[in-house]
Amino acid sequence: MTPTQTLVHATIVQTPSLGQLEIIHDQIIVVDSKGYISAILHSESEEARTVIEQASRQSPPVIVDELPPGSFLVPTFVDLHLHAPQFLYLGTGLHLPLMQWLNEYAYKAEERLDADPELTKRVYDRLAERLLEAGTGAVLAFGTIRMETNLILANVMQAKGLRAFVGKLSMDISSRPTYIEPSAEASLQAAETFIRRCREIEVTPQDSERLVHPVITPRFVPTCSYELLHGLGKLSKDEKVYVQSHLAEARDQVDWVRSTRGAEDIDVFDKAGLLTSRTVQAHCTFLQAPELTRMQAAGASIAHCPLSNAYFSSQPFRLKEALSARVTVGLGSDVAGGYLIDIMSAMRSAVSTSRMRDGNLREARLEHGDESSTSHTDVNINWIEALFLATRGGAEALGLPIGCLKPGTPFDAQRIDMIDENSNGVGALDFFDATEGFKVNEESVEKWWCLGDNRNRKSVWIQGRQVYNSSM
């Protein structure tokens, strides 16, 4: 039997399925030495008492980590779309349309990191720390075109204990002559080599699992020739590697593809073999119902990035329609097109955007003389659904068995404190009726969802290893 590594006595808050909130009190979470949950037991059960006693006799003994009243465990967040090198200039340059912004900010930053390994290490170390502070335990990350820069990113993520799918950019077309790969053939060779070298990254004894994986990353259709895209499709199939890119993001990008390729970019990806169950496409704001159906049929997933969509897309993503079509959807920060690295912000933006869409559709029907409430289909989501997207939804997109705490799955969790030892609210939270026996309920979790921030996050575990502690 695998020895017990961690015992936590806690309330569990999670969303096992879309729209379902689960709050389970007084649970003993038993984590084995490989970082997997071996059991979740009620604290007063005979089985729990036996496990606790046996763990106390191990060498060294394992003591129960008792979470105080007003605290709970929730699965770590998954950031399904982030540009790691753009963390360099996070919070600047958002006044331009997408294609111009790429030329004046994104490409320059990526090129700068490719030329400066020391700066790259500093940027990526801090990025990983910020992600953990924000409760993000897994990330799908775009890198740069230079292989060594992306290997620095992959090594940093593994060392920090973060789950990461790291993508070396593939692009043989560019508006910036100094930031381009020399040919489709060279780009494909570099992508194949990166896959091999990323898989060779050493896993240290403290890591029971490999946390970092390579991902094929054509930036988007405007920067990739047909030859490159088709080659990447074959490479993904041969190596069984995930694919990430941008799809139907902004008007200028969509128009560019139509005018130069004579097709929609979803057609271009599909013909190249890049629209499969291993594909995650960011944005998709210009996809209509038929295209969403195609995404679902292909098994492809969508990274919804509501904050950056507000800046770079002229219309919001049809989130509720995608969910109704049973498309797998997660949330992305889209650093640096999105200026907040916190997935809690993405959750809130997803809800507020959906409510604005719903209100606009209602008003449009009223203006056209249709006052029948039965003619309107709600397109808003609620906070519970957003929490699912931020956890289990993103995990499903990446094929990860996380996002819901249950036996047999990795212990990827974050500890949230809502009140302190004096029954005062932590951070921005105020509970005027809180008592010593404060019990977590749906109303208090909603308050945390709306108002909580990093001050409420005390610990983060990934694969059973504590990778963040706010007191250290």
DSSP string, 433-457: T--TT----HHHHHHHHHH--GGGE
- Which pLDDT value is given to residue 369? 78
From the CA atom positions of the chain, what is the Rg in Å? 23
**What integer pLDDT is reported at residue 371 of this predicted model?**
65
Is there a cis peptide before residue 336, judged by omega within 30 degrees of 0? yes
| 212 backbone φψ class: left, alpha, beta (φ>0; ψ -120 to 50) | beta
- Confidence (pLDDT) at 99: 83
Mean pLDDT of 71-78: 98
Whole-number percent of the chain with pLDDT over 90 = 88
Mean pLDDT of the chain: 95
Strand locations in 33-100, DSSP E? 37-42, 64-66, 71-75, 77-83
pLDDT band at residue 374 under the 50/70/90 scheme: low
356 contacts 316 by C-beta, under 8 angstroms: yes
For the chain, first and last CA: distance in Å?
A: 33
Residue 408: predicted pLDDT: 98
Answer whether residue 375 shows pLDDT above 90.
no
**225-254 tens-digit pLDDT:** 999 999 999 999 999 999 999 999 989 899
What is the pLDDT at residue 208? Answer: 74
pLDDT at 1 over 70: no
- How many alpha carbons lie under 13 Å from residue 133 in its C-beta half-sphere? 14
The whole-number pLDDT of residue 215 equals 98
DSSP conformation class of 102: I
pLDDT of 98 strictly over 90: no
- Is pLDDT of 410 > 90? yes
Q: What is the pLDDT of residues 440-464, one digit of tens each?
A: 999 999 999 999 999 999 999 999 9
- Top pLDDT among 112 and 175 is at 112
The answer to whether 435 touches 421, Cβ cutoff 8 Å, is no
**Of residues 2 and 405, which shows the higher confidence score?**
405
Please tell me the least confidently modeled range out of 149-158, 322-331, 360-369: 360-369
Q: How confident is the model at residue 55 (pLDDT cuts 50, 70, 90)?
A: very high
Confidence category of residue 204, pLDDT binned at 50, 70, 90: confident
Of the candidates 182, 63, 470, 251, the residue with the CA atom closest to the CA atom of residue 265: 251
**Dist. CA 313–CA 275, nearest whole Å:** 22
User: Does residue 66 surpass a pLDDT of 90?
Assistant: yes
pLDDT at residue number 373 = 54
The band of 436, judged by pLDDT with boundaries at 50, 70 and 90, is confident
Minimum mean pLDDT range among 21-25, 74-78, 384-388, 434-438: 434-438
Percent pLDDT > 70 in the chain is 99
pLDDT at 175: 82
Fill in the DSSP letter of residue 388: H
pLDDT at 149 over 70: yes
**Mean of the pLDDT values across residues 294-316?**
96
Task: Report, as an integer, the average pLDDT of 304-318.
Answer: 95
Please report which confidence band the pLDDT of residue 372 belongs to, taking 50, 70 and 90 as the band edges.
low
Answer yes or no: pTM beyond 0.95: yes
Is the pLDDT score of 409 beyond 80? yes
Q: Verify cis geometry, omega within 30 degrees of 0, for the bond prior to 205.
A: no
